[in-house]
Each structure stands twice: as C-alpha cells, then as structure tokens.
Structure 1
Amino acid sequence: MNETTTHALSPQDCLVAMMIAVSASDEDIRTSELVKIQSAVNNLPVFAEYDIDRMNGAAQIVFDLFEQEDGLDALFGLVREHLPPRLYETAYALACDVAAADGALGEQELRLLEEIRYELDIDRLHAAAIERGARARHITA
C-alpha cells in the first residue's frame, strides 16, 4: 500500500472497509454479506455521493492488511484517521448488519465486532442498542 492510497481514503471508503473486514473475518465472504454491503452502499444517505467504483479499492486495502501480522491494527489506524468520529456508530451499525446478514455470528465475527467497539470507543449501551437493531432486522420467521 502506498502513500497515495492511504491519503485517498474517504469516510465512505472507511465504512466499506469495516463492512468488508467483518465479512472477511471468518475467511468466508458469503453472498448474503456481499448483498448487504451492496445494499447499504446503494441505499443509505451516507453513501449518496459515493463513487461505487471505489469499493474494490477499499476491499483490496482490507485484504492486503489482513495478510499482514498487525494488519487489523493498521486498518483501525486508517479508519480512525479518515473516518469522522460522528460516523463511528454508523461504522459499527453497518458492521453489525453485515455480521448478521447470513443469520449466524461466528466466533471471528464476534471478536472483530468487539474489537470495533473498543477501537472506535462505542459506548456499551449504544453498542447494545445497535446490536439489538441488527438482530431484529435480520431475524427469520
């Protein structure tokens, strides 16, 4: 990863990176997770001005970092550097939605969500509400 890639990250790229990271955390990116990511990017106001062609670059950053020993720490560093704090809860909510998209939360996904809560300093009560909302949206009959 070069300097221009690092400095080119938009807040939306950071949100996409967090969603991709959760999806890739168990080394099995599921179709339901990709559909959830695509749906979020296509429909949420925070992505209204986002160039969808940037998604591949954001995803590649995640994949490259996940191959490195301290890649997750580096990813959080990039996110904290380029994502305004007012969007930290949005990042966590999107991550929860992606994690819940396939109907099952694996151990790796749960650990990464915990790490996101910690790294982005998400209040415990707010996190519980966000998690409950994700569960409610993805429950099956």
Structure 2
Amino acid sequence: MTDAAFSAQDALVALMITVSASDATIRTSELLTIQSIVNHLPIFAGFDEDRMEQIAQTVFDLLEEEDGLDAILGLIRDAIPETHYETAYALACDVAAADGKVFQTELELLREIRYDFNLDPLHAAAIERGARARHLKL
C-alpha cells in the first residue's frame, strides 16, 4: 500500500492514526475514538474496517523513514478533497483530545496539519475548541 495512493477514507484514517502515534504512545482512548468515528460518521459510510490494520502499518512504516511524516501528510493531502480539509482537521483534533490531554508533539503535528491544509486560523481555533469541549471530563 505504500506505493499506492490512499482513498479519501484511507487518508482520514491515516491522519487519525498519525496523530495518535505522534507522541510515541497510542492510547486506548485514542483507538476507541478512531473506532467510534469510523463506525458513526457518515464520511466513513461503506469503509472497509479490515483496511485499518493495513493503513496503520503503512503509517508506522512511513514514520520510521527520515521524511516519513512529510510523506504521510502528502499522501493525505492528495487524497482528501480540499473541501474536506476542515473535516480532516476536526478528526485529528478529536483524536488528539481523546485522552483529555494534548501533548506537545500532538500540538506540533496539528500546527503542521493546519499549515499543510492552509486552514483559516479562526476556523482552526473553532475546530480545536469544539474538540476540547467534546472531550472534557467531569
């Protein structure tokens, strides 16, 4: 799969996995969030969940390469229509916020995604605030 392009759904899953793996620890809460997103959001209608393991392996393989993160972000950007960049960023923010704490490496990755997707700063801030609000604990 590393040689083939991602579908848009593959790319969204790859982005969420990349955010989860960015702090070198994939937490259960992050995996559960990814699973819930894939199971419930209309953007994943018809997605073959059996592909998740293959997508994850591609992400992990690329992250081991020198410019692997740039390669992953390039594949993701190429696969997702520009009209869905904010959706992709929202999913990334939800995964980053899933465990109730956003680590520095996750913040840096989110900043890079905002830059790569050329997101409006106000839109990005609103998306981030929504993610924080959804993942607050009592």
Same fold per superposition (TM over 0.5)? yes
Which residue, 73, 89, 94 being the options, matches 1:92?
89
CA–CA distance in structure 1, aligned partners of residues 43 and 37 of structure 2: 9
1:1-141 aligned at under 5 Å gives the runs: 2-3=2-3, 6-7=4-5, 9-141=6-138
CA–CA distance in structure 2, aligned partners of residues 81 and 140 of structure 1: 36
TM-score normalised according to structure 2 size = 0.96
Unaligned runs of 5+ in 2: none
RMSD: 1.0
Change (3 A) 1:133 1:107: same
Q: Deviations over 1:62-98 (max 9, x none)?
A: 1011001100111111112111111111110000000
Q: Is the 8 A contact 2:114 2:124 kept in 1?
A: yes
CA–CA distance in structure 2, aligned partners of residues 27 and 44 of structure 1: 27
2:25 counterpart letter in structure 1: D
CA–CA distance in structure 2, aligned partners of residues 2 and 23 of structure 1: 19
2:7 counterpart letter in structure 1: S
CA–CA distance in structure 2, aligned partners of residues 88 and 56 of structure 1: 23
Change (3 A) 1:55 1:107: same
Shift of 1:131: 0.3
CA–CA distance in structure 2, aligned partners of residues 2 and 100 of structure 1: 28
TM-score normalised according to structure 1 size = 0.94
Whichever structure has more helix as a proportion of its residues is: 1
Q: Is the 8 A contact 2:2 2:58 kept in 1?
A: no
2:107 counterpart letter in structure 1: L
1:33 counterpart letter in structure 2: E
Q: Is the 8 A contact 2:11 2:79 kept in 1?
A: yes
CA–CA distance in structure 2, aligned partners of residues 37 and 82 of structure 1: 19
Unaligned runs of 5+ in 1: none
1:61 counterpart letter in structure 2: T
CA–CA distance in structure 2, aligned partners of residues 10 and 63 of structure 1: 18
Seq. identity, %? 64
Which stretch of the first structure deviates more once superposed, 80-89 or 99-108?
Answer: 80-89
